[in-house]
Amino acid sequence: MKAIVWQGTNRVGVETVPDPTLLLPTDAIIRVTSTAICGSDLHLLDGVIPSMEKGDILGHEFMGEVVEVGRDVRRLKVGDRVVVPFNISCGVCDPCRRGLFSACDNSNPNHRMAEALYGGVSGGGLFGYSHMYGGYAGGQAQYVRVPFADVGPHRIESDLRDEQVLFLTDIFPTGYQAAENCGIVPGRDVVAVFGAGPVGQFAARSAQMLGAAHVIVIDRVPERLAMAEAAGCQVINYEQEDVLVALRESTGGRGPDHVIDAVGMEAHGHGPGALVDTAKQRLKLSFDRITALRWALLSCAKGGTVSLPGVYGGLIDKVPMGAAFAKGLTFRMGQTHTHRHIAPLLSRIEAGEIDPSFVITHRASLDDAPDLYRTFRDKQGGCIKVVLNPWA
C-alpha cells in the first residue's frame, strides 16, 4: 500500500510499504477513506519530537471502513464506517475508566521511554507519533491497523460526509476540550485563544458554543484571522499590535477570564524572549519555544484559567510564574481524551450546530502530501488544513 513515511528531519515521502495485518485478536484493519495533516505532525517534520525512526508511517487523523477484525473484536464488524481517535486506549485501566483516555496505562508498549522523560509514568499510545508514544504506524496510508478496536473507533451511521466527521479524530475534540477545561460561565466570561490554526479555530468556536460572552483570537497569519473573524471572534494580529495592551483594552483592563494556548512548543513570537527560545532550541538546550505561554500567563485575568491544548515537550524556563501566582490562575492541560468527546460532538454536528469542514483549505492525494507538509508548515497559499484522499 501507499503511505506517508518519516524519512528524517524535514523529510517526508510517499513510499510503498507492506499492508498492515492483525497483530492481536483485539485489532481491526481499516481501509482509510480520508486522512489529514495535523499541526502536531509539523513537530515531527521539524524533528523536535524525540524517538522518531526513519521509515515510520505518519498520521493520526483518519477515518474509513472496517475491512478485517480480530477474533476478540465484539462491537465492530466488517463494513462499519468509523472515525478513529488519535490516541490509543485500553478502556479497562483506571485512567480509562475515569474518562482520561489519553492517560491510558496499558496501550503504550514502549512505556519505559516515556517513563524516563516524564517522571516514571507514560501516557497511552498515539498513532504515527514517535516510539516514545508506542511506535504505532499511522493513518496517512491506504490501510491502518487499529488496536483496541472495541474501544477507540466510533461508528458513523448518518450520511454525513467524511469532511464533516473526520476532525472528530483529533482537532475538534482537542479544541473543544481546551474550551471545556476553561469552565466558561455563559454570558459572562471572555476567552482569548492564542493561535488560529485548526485547533485554535475549533477552540474559539467551542468557546462560543459553551456560551462565552466574547472570544478574542490572536495570530499573525491574515487568512487564519479572517477565518476566526468570520465566526464572530475579535482578532488581534500580534505583529501589528502589542498583544498584552490590546487584550487589556478589549477587556476593560481585566484581561480575558480564560486563555487558551493553542500554539504550544513552537511559538514564533517576537522580542528578546522569542530570540532566546529559538537560540536555545537550535543548540538543543531546550525543546520548547514558549512565547504564547508567556503571553497567556501575563494576559489572563485574576482567578482565570490557562488551558493548554498546544503540545509541550520538555523543560521550560523564564515562565512568569509570579504573575500566575499573583492572579491565582488555574492550569488545565494535556493530551485530548478524544474518546469521551466523539459522541456528544457528533450530535452537535448532526444537529447542525457546527460543520467542521469550514477549516479545510486544501484537498490532495497522498502523492501530494510531502509538498503539502511544507505548504502547511510555511503557511503558504492560505493553507490552514489539509485533507488527503489515500485513493486519489
Cβ at position 71, least distance to another protein in Å: 12
End-to-end Cα spacing for the chain: 13
Cα-only R_g, the chain = 20
Cβ at position 120, least distance to another protein in Å: 8
Using the minimum distance from each CB to another protein, give the nearer residue, 100 or 218.
100
For residues 106 and 70, give the distance between their C-alpha atoms in angstroms, rounded to a whole number.
19
Q: Which residue has the cell 472515525?
A: 83
Using the minimum distance from each CB to another protein, give the nearer residue, 20 or 269.
20
Cβ at position 109, least distance to another protein in Å: 5
- Structure-block grid coordinates of residue 54: 526513519
Q: Contact with another protein (CB under 8 A): which of 8, 24, 99, 157?
A: 24
23 binds another protein (CB under 8 A): yes
Which residues, numbered 89-128, are part of the site for another protein (CB under 8 A)? 90, 92-94, 97, 105-109, 111-112, 115, 125
Q: Which stretch binds another protein (CB under 8 A): 23-31, 164-172, 176-184, 310-318?
A: 23-31
41 binds another protein (CB under 8 A): no
Using the minimum distance from each CB to another protein, give the nearer residue, 23 or 285.
23
Q: What φ, ψ does residue 15 adopt, rounded to 5°?
A: -135, 160
Q: What φ, ψ does residue 355 adopt, rounded to 5°?
A: -120, 100
Q: Which stretch binds another protein (CB under 8 A): 14-22, 33-41, 170-178, 246-254?
A: 14-22
CB 302 within 8 A of CB 325: no
134 binds another protein (CB under 8 A): yes
Cβ at position 344, least distance to another protein in Å: 25
Cβ at position 85, least distance to another protein in Å: 15
CB-based burial label for 353 (10 Å; 0-12, 13-18, 19+): exposed
146 binds another protein (CB under 8 A): no
Cβ at position 142, least distance to another protein in Å: 11
Contacts of 226 (CB under 8 A, 6+ apart): none
For residues 138 and 97, give the distance between their C-alpha atoms in angstroms, rounded to a whole number.
25
75 binds another protein (CB under 8 A): no
45 binds another protein (CB under 8 A): no
Which residues, numbered 52-71, are part of the site for another protein (CB under 8 A)? 53-57
> Which positions touch another protein (CB under 8 A)?
1, 3, 5, 7, 15, 17-21, 23-26, 53-57, 88, 90, 92-94, 97, 105-109, 111-112, 115, 125, 131, 134-137, 145, 147-148
